[in-house]
Amino acid sequence: MGEVRSGAAGMASPRVFPLSCVVQQYAWGKMGSNSEVARLLASSDPLARISEDKPYAELWMGAHPRGDAKILDSRISQRTLGQWIAENQDCLGSKVKDTFNGKLPFLFKVLSVETALSIQAHPNKELAEKLHLQAPQHYPDANHKPEMAIALTSFQGLCGFRPVEEIVTFLTKVPEFQFLVGDNATTQLKQSLSHDSQAMASALQSGFSHLMESKKQLVVEQLNLLVKRISQQVAAGNNVEDICGELLLQLHQQYPGDIGCFAIYFLNLLTLKPGEAMFLEANVPHAYLKGDCVECMACSDNTVRAGLTSKFIDVPTLCEMLSYTSSPSKDRLFPPKRSQEDPYLSLYAPPVPDFAVMKMEVSRGHGGCPWLFLWGLITLAKDTLWLYLGLGFLFLLSSFGERWPRACPSSLYQGPDVGLHADKSLSSGEKAVLGVVLCL
């Protein structure tokens, strides 16, 4: 945009500046240029060299200490976004600054998943503080981590507990699963069908805990028996969909002998279409299995794991902390709300104060100019607009300060190359749906 404003010393400082964001090369990521993360990295940095034999799992856009974005503007004295925010607190706006202690409250990511992530959940604020105090090497901060995943491609994941009726059906059809859950827990689950939700929750906790706490030798033995049985049925041309046979074989190939393979019989299996989302509040068990997504969360890296991983696992904590509420898979979807003023804008607004995500679509050009479609995340905090773009770039539209009009018109900025449009006229401190269009 090229606009500047005067700083305290009278020197021009940019209102918009680009950031270089951190790539995490976790083992579960897609390899090389097959990864959307790698392609975003290459598109945003002409000097980037993609290694085709290395995974590119996550692109972090934010100021978390494990992935603080670097500032790419030589006019800015600070080197990272976190440093800049610490010295420019007004950029957050007074409400965000006071509520979140002067820190950027969210972290935005792009994920490219090739192999399954761990069976996991994220702690609430109280538990996060406790875990960080007890084991900071495993729980690196004291913040909670509600998060939302929005599919960019077909995206498969596990999320929340299945209806108990479905779990009981699997206990009947998969004897290896029933063996590990145990007779007492199996009976409790079956009997809970005729009782209230509290009895169901108690039965779920008992059954899931018995499964996850099974001895390793028994898990390996039962998993090998199940894999052999399913493989024989597949070879014979039989349909094994009723016991999630193909998924079981896939997970066993990725994590042989892992108890997490059996978790598919407790947790809902979701396949999101592009644009569909699931919201993961505190204590909800989940695992991402395959595909590309954008993910937004509170600014935290706290995860409690119990399977499908080589990282630190904490089964007792996970089983104790979980929300044992069962629901159909369709209830785990989190639909966006389409703007009434603009059919090309959709807002994913979860019931947390830390973040919201907006999807912006541009259907066609105007006046012969090709338009570029952008995924973006907008936070409007008092006098500040934060803009996250799905091209591997992150921009801070800094505080307008004294120059921000009392009632800003819906066309916030219009130039030959870029337009910013809100869905309404807004005053300082209001929220708005913001559209971003680039003319190429």
Cβ 214 vs Cβ 185: under 8 Å: no
What is the average pLDDT across 83-107?
88
pLDDT in tens, 233-271: 999 999 999 999 999 999 999 999 999 999 999 999 999
Q: What does the mean pLDDT of the chain come to?
A: 82
Reply yes or no on whether the pLDDT at 48 is more than 80: yes
Which DSSP state fits 117? P
High-pLDDT (> 90) share of the chain, % = 64
Strand residues in 273-410 grouped as ranges (E): 277-280, 286-298, 304-307, 337-338, 345-348, 357-360, 371-372, 375-381, 384-389, 394-397, 407-408
Distance of CA 403 to CAs 4, 6, 18, 75, 431, Å? Answer: 12, 11, 22, 21, 18
Work out the pLDDT band at 362, boundaries 50, 70, 90: low
Give the end-to-end CA distance of the chain in Å, rounded to a whole number: 13
The continuous run of DSSP H or E covering 418 comes out as: strand 418-422
For residue 252 the two structure tokens come to 């066993």
Closest CA to 293 of 393, 396, 375: 375
Return the SS3 of 256.
coil
Active-site option among 305, 332, 403, 406: 305
Query: Pick the residue with more confidence: 283 or 406?
Result: 283
High-pLDDT (> 70) share of the chain, % = 79
Q: For 86-90, 250-254, 274-278, which range has the lowest pLDDT when averaged over its residues?
A: 86-90
Work out the angle between the directed axes of helices 197-212 and 183-192 (0-180°, nearest 10).
Answer: 160
| Confidence at residue 363, expressed as pLDDT on a 0 to 100 scale | 52
| Confidence at residue 19, expressed as pLDDT on a 0 to 100 scale | 82
Reply yes or no on whether the pLDDT at 376 is more than 80: no
Reply yes or no on whether the pLDDT at 130 is more than 70: yes
What letters, b where the CB count within 10 A reaches 16 and e where it falls short, cover 363-387? eeeeeeeeeeebbbbbbbbbbbbbb
pLDDT in tens, 141-169: 999 999 999 999 999 999 999 999 999 99
pTM: 0.82
| CB-based contacts of 228, cutoff 8 Å, min separation 6 | none
Q: For 109-113, 157-161, 407-411, which range has the lowest pLDDT when averaged over its residues?
A: 407-411
Query: Pick the residue with more confidence: 359 or 209?
Result: 209
For residue 263 the two structure tokens come to 């978790």
Query: Pick the residue with more confidence: 380 or 293?
Result: 293
Reply yes or no on whether the pLDDT at 405 is more than 50: no
What is the average pLDDT across 395-407?
35
Query: Pick the residue with more confidence: 207 or 73?
Result: 207
| Confidence at residue 157, expressed as pLDDT on a 0 to 100 scale | 98
For residue 234 the two structure tokens come to 């597949």
Catalytic site residue 305? yes
What is the average pLDDT across 338-356?
86
Work out the pLDDT band at 395, boundaries 50, 70, 90: very low
Reply yes or no on whether the pLDDT at 180 is more than 60: yes
